[in-house]
Amino acid sequence: MSLRAKILVYLALIHLSLGAVALFILAQNRLMLIAVEAFFAVSIALGFMLVRSFFVPLTMIRTGAELIQEGDFTARFREVGQSEMDDLIRIYNRMIDRLREERLTLREQHTFLDRVLDASPAGVVTLDFDGRVTLVNPRAERLIQAPDGATIGRRLGEIDSALARELTSIEVGESRVVGGPGLRLKCSRAEFYDQGFTRSFFVMEELTEELRASEKAAYEKIIRILSHEVNNSVGAVSSLLDSARNYAGQLGEEDRTDFVSAVDVAIARMDRLNAFMKSFADVVRLPKPRLAPCDVKKLIDDILILMQPEMERRRVACAWEGAPAGAVVRLDRSQMEQVLVNVLKNAMEAIGEDGRISLRLSSDHGRPSLSVADSGCGIPGDARAQIFTPFFSTKRDGRGLGLTVVQEILSQHRFEFSLEARPEGGAEFRVRFSG
């Protein structure tokens, strides 16, 4: 039985009891009995009215609490004409209006934040209280590249991705540059409070273009200084050596041969040094690409004809995988030849002898894509992040310019590219053309 019913029953019993007593006492005086009974009737009516007015605010409060619990912030109460009750109603209505406005603002902010995250060039990953992924924006999905595409609800360490594993080692408040060939990211980890507890989130910003531009400015300056100094010295020394060779006739027969041989060796060395510096300067003086439609498969087939003798000498088989997709791309043919020659030459040198190079020309989301995979020694783990760095080379006598030129040409063409180690061994170079 509710409190209201109990009070009403109590009032009814009290008045019935008093009525019975009055009936017993005033049985002989009917006029007085009628007056007392009338008083009791009025008292009962007033009691019921007082109980009702007492419980109306409680009923309203209970109804309001139920509406708030259900998340219904649209219902408002009307004023009833009682000052105390109307004050309470006005307070409730103001509270409901404020809650409705705040919920609408939060929804608009969440919608805006979702759209910003979807369009953001930075990758964002949010974890729950147990370290499981609750949010991954599209950019982060492309960067993580989970093989099965499943990231939500899993811990980063459970995702088969090099970047995901790298993120697990980043401490809260730490920023680190990570990534491999052709892609370098600044990854930061921070925390925020949710329901009084901390949760982690990661922000991944691509620095590839910024770092490449900074590196390019640095090595261009170095190359210009070196070229200037070396060319000045080489030109002067070569002129002196040519002049010195003219004095060979003034020497005795026994000294003439040694003198001429020594001068010729020095001149040849000057020529090689000049050619060496020219190869560096060519990177700086790389012209802008002159774009024209080009059949990518025919271009590669022509290069393979050129490189076929060297491949046969090394016993390296090179073949297309499947049926190559037709791809006509606007590019600078001479520069792209330089790229592909470098890539195929690197693949052969990584194999050494007795190996295989696989070519695949396909469509990647409507854009032509080329893959060159080899069965060579792969890419050492400590070299992955530096493979496109100028002057860095894993070869004993390498100058570290081949992939620098490749990177520069492909970047000027605005083609996406990568060089990754293959799980089964070897390496794979990929180019995604603009179409």
The residue among 219 and 368 whose pLDDT is bigger is 368
Q: What architecture does CATH give domain 292-432?
A: 2-Layer Sandwich (3.30)
Which 3 state secondary structure label does DSSP give 133? strand
Q: What is the mean pLDDT of residues 389-409?
A: 65
* Structure confidence at residue 112 (pLDDT): 86
Q: What is the residue-wise DSSP string for 156-223?
A: GGGS--HHHHHHHTPPTT-EEEEEETTEEEEEEEEEEEETTEEEEEEEEEE-HHHHHHHHHHHHHHHH
Q: How confident is residue 201, by pLDDT bands cut at 50, 70 and 90?
A: very high
Residue whose structure tokens are 């020394």: 237
At residue 399, does pLDDT exceed 60? no
Question: What percent of the chain is modeled with pLDDT above 70?
Answer: 70
Question: What percent of the chain is modeled with pLDDT above 90?
Answer: 5
Q: What is the mean pLDDT of residues 362-383?
A: 79
At residue 346, does pLDDT exceed 70? yes
pLDDT digits (tens, 9 = 90+) for 112-171: 888 888 888 888 999 998 889 888 888 888 888 777 677 888 888 888 877 888 888 889
- Are 388 and 407 contacting, i.e. CB atoms less than 8 angstroms apart? yes
Q: Where are the domains of the chain?
A: 3-102, 120-206, 214-284, 292-432
pLDDT digits (tens, 9 = 90+) for 217-231: 766 677 776 676 677
The residue among 115 and 390 whose pLDDT is bigger is 115
Phi-psi region of 161 (alpha: psi -120 to 50; beta: other; left: phi over 0): beta
* Structure confidence at residue 321 (pLDDT): 86
Q: What is the pTM of this model?
A: 0.50
- Are 170 and 176 contacting, i.e. CB atoms less than 8 angstroms apart? yes
- The fold adopted by the segment(s) 120-206 is Beta-Lactamase (3.30.450)
Q: How confident is residue 195, by pLDDT bands cut at 50, 70 and 90?
A: confident
Q: What is the mean pLDDT of residues 242-253?
A: 72
- Are 327 and 401 contacting, i.e. CB atoms less than 8 angstroms apart? no
- How many Cα atoms within 13 Å fall on the side-chain side of residue 323? 2
Q: What is the mean pLDDT of residues 188-207?
A: 87
The residue among 71 and 53 whose pLDDT is bigger is 71
At residue 435, does pLDDT exceed 70? no
* Structure confidence at residue 44 (pLDDT): 64
At residue 15, does pLDDT exceed 70? no
pLDDT digits (tens, 9 = 90+) for 161-181: 778 888 888 898 888 877 655
* Structure confidence at residue 180 (pLDDT): 55
